[in-house]
Amino acid sequence: MSLLAGKTVVVSGVGAGLGHQVAAAVVRDGGNAVLGARTESHLAKSAAEIDPDGSHTAYRGTDITDESQCEALAEVARERFGRIDAVVHVAAWDSYFGGIEDADFATWQSVLDVNLLGTLRMTRACLPSLKEAGGGSVVFIGTQSAVAAPSQVRQAAYAASKGALTSAMYSLARELGPYRIRVNTVLPGWMWGPPVEAYVQFTAHTEKVPEAEVLKRLSDRMALPELATDGDVADAAVFLASERARAITGQSLLVNAGELMR
């Protein structure tokens, strides 16, 4: 039996990277994927690639800072597939860099509005259907940076927002547990996909060294001899969304090829 047979999973933040991989894994494992992101053309492209006949996908342009748009995406899932069994939150603002000395706190507030409050808005929009289904799963995508800051880049606002989300996870796991709704977080480290590919290319160009050298600097930090991929992270998220993880809640799972062990 497929991991997600008959299940409907809402996936926020579907673009070219992790969100697409999560949606693809949902369909691969027998489920229905309801895709949300701000750019509808990205959603249409992703849906066409993973589900050419359109029988297992639906999508709607969604900005998770807008509560009504979150509710509309949840309604798409209910109208098309009749239920919501899980929601995987990939949508995030991860492109603001810097630390405390050069911080623009107005931008920090915007990062928090997306990464923390936006995720919670989308979760709340899906709660009625999760309850009606008799339970389900909420999966946050966090970051290893929330528990161990990387030395290569500074992303203090992103790390703080994702750390706050992980802290919120514990409260939600207690609050929603009586409804049999599980809440967990996947913490990716350096994850081979479009953002890290761009980092490797930029660093190699800036330092005038081969891309393989930059990649080796990263992989040498890992216990395993290569970086995890966005597909590996997607597989972890889909596992937590499935009934195979029915007794797991309030947990953070590092998917990082062993760079950090806790």
Query: Could you tell me which residues are beta bridge partners of residue 9?
Result: 33, 86
Hey, what are 22's tokens? Answer: 């999560």
Query: Measured between alpha carbons, how far is 99 from 97 in angstroms, rounded to an integer?
Result: 7
Question: In whole angstroms, what separates CA 8 from the centre of its chain?
Answer: 16
Under 8 Å between Cβ of 259 and 190: yes
Active-site hit among 96, 158, 170, 199: 158
Under 8 Å between Cβ of 179 and 135: yes
SS (H, E, C) 194-216: HHHHHHHHHHHHHHCCCHHHHHH
| Beta-carbon count within 10 A of 222 CB | 17
Under 8 Å between Cβ of 118 and 68: no
Active-site residue flag, 158: yes
Query: Measured between alpha carbons, how far is 8 from 31 in angstroms, rounded to an integer?
Result: 6
Under 8 Å between Cβ of 253 and 261: no
Give, for 9, the enclosing helix (H) or strand (E): strand 8-12
Residues with catalytic annotation?
Answer: 158
